[in-house]
């Protein structure tokens, strides 16, 4: 049986989430707003047991008074009961959960229903499972009674059911359970907040950088603003942050704050401390107001350009969405988006062997480790979402920077020169460089260049798909871009990079493409439409860990070891009024670099 998970655009009722006012010492615990409707899609009658676990040490001693529960759909729902349990016992049958603390029946509703237990339960150091159960009759694919959030935490969603999940409790299915737990304790204060997750940050020495951290509400009132103190490398900053959308009065509800990490002078790992000093303009009442993170400073900071490899063909009626996805990404991120389009069964085919497992067309892989859709990404069908998964992948720290130059060594030989610089030394070098040659502007007049199109007349797609949704069953006259027309070994050139890896020392790798050996119909007459892509491959896994691209006859910003006179001695930042600052806020600034040879170069940058 498959699990059904669908996004809720509008609920037919008004959920009462977060609008109740807690008494002094009372607070609501919730993992997030409802966003998805969930169901097992079973064809048989089904009994659901659902739970989340509260194991937060800061809540030990608090009392669970009750819960608030809402359903996405109440069609056929019966026997609803809320419960508390110390454990989720092993289940070897369809037998429903028997809670070992307490349970209470309630009437299912699409509004949040408040269920108060007969006796409050005090949370111990072992934690507590809070859940509810209900039954539904024979279901079909449309019945999705359970509400889930957009968050996904370790203990946020447990499920057992009489049909689909009958032999054991399951967790890790994705999103958290959208219920509210009513807690009471003398330890709960009004204006209290702590620092949640501080992502590990990689920065370039000598340059301030934007970073983020989470503010987590622990108070009985909403959070409109915080004041915080940031300390790293002996430097301390005091900052104030106003929230455009205040955090609701719900324990654990989080907001992301952008902040400036001041410039760090030397390479190394540094401890970052952030302490929330005030909440809503008054002293923070949280017992643990601080959080710690790590800032890694490197002399060379790689820019990760994730690679989308698309698998397509003009005969494939569902492939137009990949065509449009790559076009949009090239418009959105013209400098950094790297795409390679592998054609099959049409005039642009150059290989039947692929570097990834392609079960069918269309298909796409991100850095050869994540299968996705070249238009939708991991989003719902009919939604443009490849940008989200690509940006997420670009946020992964790359082991080396990759810069690239191309040159014509003769009339038919296009040479690519990759410059690979690692920020960290290593006695081994498990990496290789691979090269691909791609072409833009390809078109033809014969029928096998016409793109088969199954989207003619389709509804529910964004306007950027109009070329196909308003098109015929074959779309003629398309110009194809990012098309692979030649390549080095997919796994990389053996021995192209050597050990040991020296930090901040550039290794150069060269590869030549003989244009005369490529079939003429896929070589553009305008040779500037040829592009070389350099791929840094981890030979242990086959993963692409970084990449870059350069048009024929062009060069990316190559950061090879500079001449002595070009070494940067100092960096200063100025606002647009010319006032110096060591800690830029968000906005546009002038970056001034003084070189060892006395020259000064200045550029505008955005934080």
When mean pLDDT is compared over 2-11, 69-78, 354-363, the highest value belongs to: 354-363
Q: What is the pLDDT of residues 540-563, one digit of tens each?
A: 999 999 999 999 987 665 544 444
Confidence at residue 571, expressed as pLDDT on a 0 to 100 scale: 67
**pLDDT exceeds cutoff 90 at 578:** no
Say if CB 530 and CB 518 are below 8 A apart.
no
Q: Is residue 193 classed exposed, middle or buried when 0-12, 13-18 and 19+ CB atoms within 10 A define those classes?
A: buried
Among the listed residues 525, 520, 449, the one whose alpha carbon sits nearest the alpha carbon of residue 485 = 520
**pLDDT exceeds cutoff 90 at 19:** no
Distant-in-sequence contacts of 560-563, Cβ < 8 A, 24+ apart: 560/403, 560/419, 560/421, 560/506, 560/508, 561/504, 561/505, 561/506
pTM of the entire predicted model: 0.75
Among the listed residues 291, 229, 281, 282, the one whose alpha carbon sits nearest the alpha carbon of residue 254 = 291
Summarize the confidence of residues 340-355 as an average pLDDT.
97
Confidence at residue 138, expressed as pLDDT on a 0 to 100 scale: 72
Among the listed residues 194, 176, 185, the one whose alpha carbon sits nearest the alpha carbon of residue 123 = 185
Q: What is the C-alpha separation between 607 and 588, in angstroms, rounded?
A: 6
Confidence at residue 139, expressed as pLDDT on a 0 to 100 scale: 58
Confidence at residue 68, expressed as pLDDT on a 0 to 100 scale: 96
Q: What is the pLDDT of residues 203-227, one digit of tens each?
A: 999 989 889 999 999 999 999 999 9
Q: Where is 326: in which H helix or E strand?
A: helix 320-332
The first and second tokens of residue 125, run together, are: 């150091």
Least confident stretch, 44-48, 228-232, 319-323, 512-516: 44-48
Q: How far is CA 516 from CA 340, 351, 487, 551, in A?
A: 21, 17, 14, 18
**pLDDT exceeds cutoff 70 at 169:** yes
Q: What is the pLDDT of residues 393-406, one digit of tens each?
A: 999 999 999 999 99
Confidence at residue 584, expressed as pLDDT on a 0 to 100 scale: 66
**pLDDT exceeds cutoff 70 at 167:** yes
Confidence at residue 11, expressed as pLDDT on a 0 to 100 scale: 36
**What is the b/e burial string over 145-183, where b = at least 16 CB atoms within 10 angstroms of the residue's CB?**
bbbbbebeeebbbbbbbbbbbeeebeeeeebbbbbbbbb
Q: What is the C-alpha separation between 291 and 148, in angstroms, rounded?
A: 28
Looking up tokens 């490849």, which residue turns up? 386
The first and second tokens of residue 424, run together, are: 């960290």
Q: What is the pLDDT of residues 288-346, one digit of tens each?
A: 999 999 999 999 999 999 999 999 999 999 999 999 999 999 999 999 999 999 999 99
Confidence at residue 560, expressed as pLDDT on a 0 to 100 scale: 45
The first and second tokens of residue 251, run together, are: 């324990």
Q: What is the pLDDT of residues 359-388, one digit of tens each?
A: 999 999 999 999 999 999 998 889 999 999
Say if CB 307 and CB 366 are below 8 A apart.
yes
Q: What is the C-alpha separation between 60 and 491, in angstroms, rounded?
A: 52
């Amino acid at each position: 049986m498959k699990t059904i998970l669908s996004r809720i655009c509008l609920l037919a009722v008004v959920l009462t989430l977060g609008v109740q006012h807690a008494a002094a010492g009372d607070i609501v615990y919730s993992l997030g707003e409802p966003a998805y409707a969930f169901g097992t899609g079973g064809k048989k009658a089904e009994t659901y047991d659902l739970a989340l676990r509260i194991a937060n040490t800061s809540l030990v001693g608090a009392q669970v008074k009750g819960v608030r529960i809402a359903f996405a759909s109440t069609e056929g729902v019966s026997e609803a009961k809320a419960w508390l349990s110390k454990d989720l016992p092993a289940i070897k049958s369809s037998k429903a959960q028997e809670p070992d603390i307490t349970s209470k029946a309630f009437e299912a509703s699409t509004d949040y229903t408040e269920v108060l237990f007969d006796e409050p339960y005090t949370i111990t150091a072992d934690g507590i499972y809070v859940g509810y159960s209900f039954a539904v009759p024979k279901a079909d694919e449309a019945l999705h009674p359970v509400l889930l959030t957009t968050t996904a935490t370790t203990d946020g969603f447990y499920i057992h059911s009489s049909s689909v999940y009958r032999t054991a409790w399951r967790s890790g299915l994705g999103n958290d359970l959208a219920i509210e737990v009513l807690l009471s304790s003398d330890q709960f204060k009004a204006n209290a907040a702590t620092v949640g997750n501080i992502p590990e940050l990689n920065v370039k020495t000598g340059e301030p950088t934007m970073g983020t951290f989470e503010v987590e509400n622990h108070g009985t009132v909403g959070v409109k603003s915080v004041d915080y103190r940031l300390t790293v490398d002996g430097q301390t900053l005091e900052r104030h942050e106003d929230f455009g959308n205040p955090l609701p009065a719900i324990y654990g509800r989080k907001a992301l704050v952008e902040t400036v990490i001041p410039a760090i002078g030397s390479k190394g790992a540094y401890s970052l401390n952030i302490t929330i000093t005030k909440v809503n303009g008054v002293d923070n009442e949280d017992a643990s107001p601080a959080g710690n993170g790590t800032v890694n400073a490197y002399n060379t900071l790689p820019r990760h350009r994730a690679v989308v490899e698309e698998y397509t063909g003009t005969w494939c009626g569902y492939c137009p969405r990949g065509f449009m996805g790559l076009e949009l990404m090239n418009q959105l991120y013209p400098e950094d988006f790297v795409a390679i389009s592998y054609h099959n069964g049409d005039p642009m085919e150059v290989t039947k062997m692929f570097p990834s497992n392609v079960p069918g067309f269309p298909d796409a892989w991100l850095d050869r480790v994540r299968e996705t859709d070249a238009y939708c990404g991991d989003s719902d069908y009919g939604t443009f979402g490849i940008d989200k998964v690509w940006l997420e992948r670009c946020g992964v720290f790359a082991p080396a920077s990759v810069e690239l130059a191309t040159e014509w060594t003769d009339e038919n030989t296009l040479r690519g020169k990759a410059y690979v610089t690692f920020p960290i030394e290593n006695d081994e070098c498990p990496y290789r460089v691979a090269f691909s040659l791609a072409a833009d502007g390809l078109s033809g007049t014969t029928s096998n260049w016409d793109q088969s199109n199954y989207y003619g007349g389709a509804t529910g797609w964004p306007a950027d798909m109009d070329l196909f949704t308003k098109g015929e069953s074959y779309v003629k006259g398309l110009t194809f871009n990012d098309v692979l027309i030649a390549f080095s070994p997919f796994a990389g050139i053996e021995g192209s990079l050597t050990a040991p890896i020296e930090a901040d020392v550039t290794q150069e790798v060269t590869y030549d493409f003989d244009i005369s050996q490529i079939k003429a119909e896929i070589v553009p007459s305008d040779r500037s439409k040829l592009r070389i892509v350099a791929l840094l491959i981890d030979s242990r896994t086959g993963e692409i860990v970084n990449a870059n691209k350069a048009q024929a006859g062009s060069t990316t910003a190559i950061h090879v070891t500079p001449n002595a006179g070009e070494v940067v001695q100092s960096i200063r930042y100025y606002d647009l009024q010319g006032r110096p600052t060591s800690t830029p806020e968000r906005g546009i600034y002038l970056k001034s670099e003084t070189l060892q040879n006395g020259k000064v170069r200045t550029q505008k940058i955005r934080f």
